[in-house]
Structure 1
């Protein structure tokens, strides 16, 4: 779906498909340099990271393994409490593995901080993070992120895997959702 198909639902287009693909290529060159000669396990965080993971995996010029996790943090309202439930766990053994968590967006950092510690505790040799988007203003905890695509304002964004009520995930770009849609 094109951003123009839902232009009335967006206040602003942040990134086009071309800008996203260029950034993913840039991230992949850095990942390839850091993991040259290594076999890295990409761990995608469902559901939002599906698009990022697919494009990252296709762009990488190294052998990789892929696995998926689904986690949910819950608390009062829509705010993450940092208390995490694993909804779908990994199928891979992490002992001695170099793991790269692939995320669509880092908001508060609470869930991602927990996830990184959890994977390290499973015996991974290393655990790094690659995120397409980060909202620095929304951070509640500092998370060391090795590969960051774009820093964005603290706005409600959709597209390229990011959703509102399961809509907009299939947009080819990323835009700011108009408040009248979710208010």
Structure 2
């Protein structure tokens, strides 16, 4: 009868020892974890995401506010978006940078393949051909940490200037997770 408790004790001890990790560090597990961690923190690049504009809520008249939403869908490996997208408006040889919304608090988003995020450009419509307005024709979008841009036609009317055409009365929101 005494053999059963000893056998059970030996079995429990053997199972406990196999559950413990090797105290030697050959780097195998750590290399895998480091690679997974690096992939989780790699910044999203324009070339690995699909970027779509609209549908917009165009400002109907000078002085009105309009919004242009953008959707980003990750088509590559897991990546992150943090902060604000880079947004520039151009009209011929004139260009202006759209500032991030100072009231917003950006968060770091991790996007797995096929995950989506959004951001929005909010602008005040200006007078057509007005000295204080930018008759924008193109909006250039870049992601944080990269100079590569994706261009979209700007068909939402002139953008009012805060103090002139070079400082548009517009802001861009931080990245936000889309969907549920």
Place the TM-score, normalised by the shorter chain, in its bin.
under 0.3
Q: TM-score, normalised by structure 1?
A: 0.23
Structure (1 or 2) with the greater helix fraction: 1
Give 1 or 2 for the bigger CA radius of gyration: 2
Q: TM-score, normalised by structure 2?
A: 0.23
